[in-house]
Amino acid sequence: MLKNNLGYPRVGANRQLKKACEQYWQQKITAGELIQTARLLQEEHWNLQQAAGIDLIPCNDFSFYDQVLDASLLVGNIPQRYAAVVTDVKGNTELDLYFAMARGYQQNGLDVKAMEMTKWFDTNYHYIVPEFTAKQEFRLFSQKLFAEFSGAKHALGRVPKPVLIGPVSYLLLGKEKEAGFQRIDLIRKLVPVYIEALQRLQSLGAEWVQLDEPFLAMDLADKDRQAYEWAYKEIRKACKGLKLLVATYFGDLRENLPLAVNLPVCALHLDLVRAPQQLAAALPLLPPQLTLSLGVVDGRNIWKNNYDASLALIQQAVAAIGTDRVMIAPSCSLLHTPFDLEAETAIQPGIKNWMAFAKQKLQEVKELHAIAHGATELLAPNQAAIAARSTSPLIHQAAVKARTAAIGPKDDQRASEFRVRQELQKQRFKLPLFPTTTIGSFPQTDDIRQLRARLKKGELSTAEYDAEIEKATINVIRVQEEIGLDVLVHGEFERNDMVEYFGELLNGFLFTKNGWVQSYGSRCVKPPVIYGDVSRTADMTVRWSRFAQEQTSKPMKGMLTGPVTILQWSFVRDDQPRSETTFQIALAIRDEVVALEKAGIHIIQIDEPAIREGLPLRKQDQPTYLDWAVKAFRISASGVKDDTQVHTHMCYSDFNDIIEHIAAMDADVITIETSRSQMELLDAFAGFRYPNEIGPGVYDIHSPRVPGVEEMAALLEKAAQLLPIQNVWVNPDCGLKTRKWPETKAALINMVQAAAKAREVV
Ligand code: GLN
Ligand code: ZN
């Protein structure tokens, strides 16, 4: 019974990789220094897994930015527009090309945007979307895979298991950049390059290779299924000696199960946390040579494994196919969990004993393996922790449960329908056509972050801290007035993070010191842990919004995070339905919305960037989720008067399949991310004749590139053709907290000019 691991968090216990990458981008360290940091981290992580007794230790799960972008470089899928980064700039290397694709490149006379980025299935990790053209060619390009394999082999003194995105999933993750072909048809061109890579690995000594095919747990077209059959048959023929492990995760294989178990590979990994029931379905179908990797340790959450439940699955598998054909593993890559629980010295011990991070999850795999081999003394402490959690008074608050149980049919309805509200709001705010605004945050400079650090350390009193935040807020208001924006924001300087800030003020949440999880590139988030019933005891944002409104005669937009996003970006309870937790949060946010209105804030944004990512991956499961998610948003937004304008904001989303539900949220204004896709994302709104107001983002905030007036004016023109003009707002794609001041000002000045141009045209 081998102990298998699918992938390990790469950023480092202290986010070393993040820091090194950012220093490299600012040209504060050399490529050599960056690579050295990466190598040390990799070695540390390999050794850690070795120490935990993991038999199949992954390599190539490391990435400087994103594993899908790595795959694009491996197979030489580099859009033509990036070629100049290496051909025209002396001294630029593959690494610079790579970062240019990830982040855009605006130096040395070149100006090229970053590639599109989107969410990795239903996680908060983002990947760089591969682009495909009709005449797409592939060739083995980057050597990173081989270097990492050899490096791991050398460091460990044994053979690691390289991890690659499987060829079918790689194609399905991408998008066609022109009409007239289907990317899945490129499989015939792609597989030979995979074969070349696999043969090369084999010649370097590889034994097991993991090919991630998460799409096997998704809805597939017939063509996709045929691609699977063909691709793996070809790979099998060409790479006879290699042991291939196909990894699926994030769901139930359902109708794809027969396809998956019959792929000519040595092992199949199943996510038994998301879908424990698929084990029983799979066992009778397994051909005799196939090994099953049982993903029993939750790679998506921070709760301690329930050993009894996991052992039941392990024993079920062993009884059916024998010990030799069973592996024990986490459910998916541990990329989505924080590094080490031991570093968390401030979590109440009672609760900490219910939890496990990546490092602890490796131990869980080890212990489950040991228990399965007779070390039953390891069971009792685990059973005690699980039992303590299920009955703890820290978790259950009767009043909170009573309030969600009492939610009635009126609680998710505004007083009047949108048309009526829009009229009242037009009268009240008298905004120009194409009103300009921003999404909320302004640059969180080191100075601002320092303030918070100093407050935490006690070097700054709350009064001193508040005074500094007030200064920053006044400054951002003056900046916005000078630039000429129509609806202002307070800048969110008092917030560490849009979810953490609220979690810290709500009951039922706890926080980690160092529980970072990669979100995209060097960006990490530190999700709160929702461990108990959620409630609000006091105002959370009123003080700052009121202060900001007092500084200006322009409307100040209040800024809240929506219930679904708070849920989605937290580690959530696994002891009650997600919907129940979300309704608890929705009621707390509703109370805050009402408090803001009372305090004189009449435009209130409730951010729900995560609504789309919470969508279940299978069509069949989506309606139920959308019903409760939309309802939760509406509950949070429906406590205010008709002439209070509720905004919402969403990013990185393809809205096509959920547009009617977005409309059902009935926000007066929605701002969305659209610029990276050249307004393509707006088609869904146009096609649906979306009735409410929309601000399609006119520039990408994920890169320091400053967009020109013409460029944004052109996007606005496009938007104005697609939507009723009186409904169009002008704003960036998302919040500006990750940007620096100079580019922020420059971009917003251009944006306001673009809006002025658009007004002239009509
Ligand atoms: N109001 C938030 C901000 O501007 C929204 C961030 C987000 O959508 N991720 O930072
Ligand atoms: Zn956003």
Q: Report the alpha-carbon distance of residue 58 to residue 50 in Å, rounded.
A: 10
The CB of 732 under 6 Å from ligand 1? The reply is no
The CB of 499 under 6 Å from ligand 1? The reply is no
Confirm whether residue 651 is marked as ligand binding: yes
pLDDT at 676: 81
If you ran DSSP here, which 8-state letter would residue 114 be given?
P
The CB of 604 under 6 Å from ligand 1? The reply is no
pLDDT at 655: 84
Distance set, CA 615 to CA 170, 175, 586 (Å): 21, 20, 18
ipTM > 0.90 for the complex: yes
Catalytic, 647? Answer no
Region of poorest pLDDT, from 312-316, 681-685, 753-757: 681-685
Selection from 60, 61, 67, 48 nearest residue 7 by Cα? 61
Report the sign of the C-alpha dihedral through residues 464, 468, 473, 474, in that order: positive
Q: Which of 439, 653, 673 to mutate to test the pocket of ligand 1 (most atoms within 8 A of CB)?
A: 439
Q: In the predicted model, what is the mean pLDDT of residues 260-275?
A: 98
The CA 584 to ligand 1 mean position distance, Å, reads 22
The CB of 41 under 6 Å from ligand 1? The reply is no
Q: Rg of the chain over CA atoms, in angstroms? A: 26
pLDDT per position as a tens digit, 172-181: 999 999 999 9
pLDDT at 706: 96
Mean pLDDT of the chain: 96
Token pair of 2 as six digits: 């081998």
φ/ψ of 730, rounded to 5, equals -125, 125
The CB of 735 under 6 Å from ligand 1? The reply is yes
> Amino acid identity, residue 187?
I
Confirm whether residue 439 is marked as ligand binding: yes
Selection from 17, 39, 285 nearest residue 155 by Cα? 39
SS3 sequence of 51-94: HCCCCECEECCCCCCCHHHHHHHHCCCCCHHHHHHHHCCCCCCH
Residue 564 pLDDT > 90: yes
Q: Which atom of ligand 1 is found nearest the CA of 649?
A: 8
Residue nearest to atom 10 of ligand 1 (CA): 735
Classified as helix, coil or strand, 269 is strand
Q: Report the alpha-carbon distance of residue 665 to residue 670 in Å, rounded.
A: 10
The CB of 555 under 6 Å from ligand 1? The reply is no
Q: Report the alpha-carbon distance of residue 375 to residue 593 in Å, rounded.
A: 54
The CA 168 to ligand 1 mean position distance, Å, reads 33
pLDDT, greater one: 581 or 651:
581
Neighbours of 623 (CB within 10 A): 10
Residue 757 pLDDT > 90: yes
Write down the catalytic residue from 45, 126, 602, 702: 702
Q: Which atom of ligand 1 is found nearest the CA of 735?
A: 4
Q: Give the chain's length.
A: 762
Q: What is the pLDDT confidence band of residue 761, given thresholds at 50, 70 and 90?
A: confident
Confirm whether residue 734 is marked as ligand binding: yes
pLDDT per position as a tens digit, 654-676: 788 899 999 999 999 999 999 88
Q: In the predicted model, what is the mean pLDDT of residues 579-595?
A: 98
Ligand nearest to the CA of 697: 2
pLDDT at 131: 98
Report the sign of the C-alpha dihedral through residues 427, 428, 432, 437, in that order: negative
φ/ψ of 556, rounded to 5, equals -105, 130
Q: Report the alpha-carbon distance of residue 655 to residue 650 in Å, rounded.
A: 10
The CA 448 to ligand 2 mean position distance, Å, reads 21
Q: What is the pLDDT confidence band of residue 650, given thresholds at 50, 70 and 90?
A: very high
pLDDT at 652: 66
Residue 248 CB contacts under 8 Å (≥ 6 apart), including other chains:
213, 214, 216, 217, 260, 268, 269, 270, 271
8 Å CB contact between 720 and 682: no
Q: In the predicted model, what is the mean pLDDT of residues 331-357?
A: 97
Report the sign of the C-alpha dihedral through residues 196, 202, 206, 212, in that order: positive
Q: In the predicted model, what is the mean pLDDT of residues 495-518?
A: 95
Which class for 27: exposed (0-12), middle (13-18), buried (19 or more C-beta within 10 A)?
Answer: exposed
The CA 79 to ligand 2 mean position distance, Å, reads 26
Which residue in this structure is represented by tokens 């409904």? 727
Which residue in this structure is represented by tokens 């017939």? 222
Confirm whether residue 490 is marked as ligand binding: no
Q: How large is the angle between the packed helices 16-25 and 31-51, nearest 10 degrees?
A: 170
Residue nearest to atom 1 of ligand 1 (CA): 440
The whole-model pTM stands at 0.90
8 Å CB contact between 606 and 600: no
The CB of 412 under 6 Å from ligand 1? The reply is no
The CA 346 to ligand 2 mean position distance, Å, reads 31
Residue 295 pLDDT > 70: yes
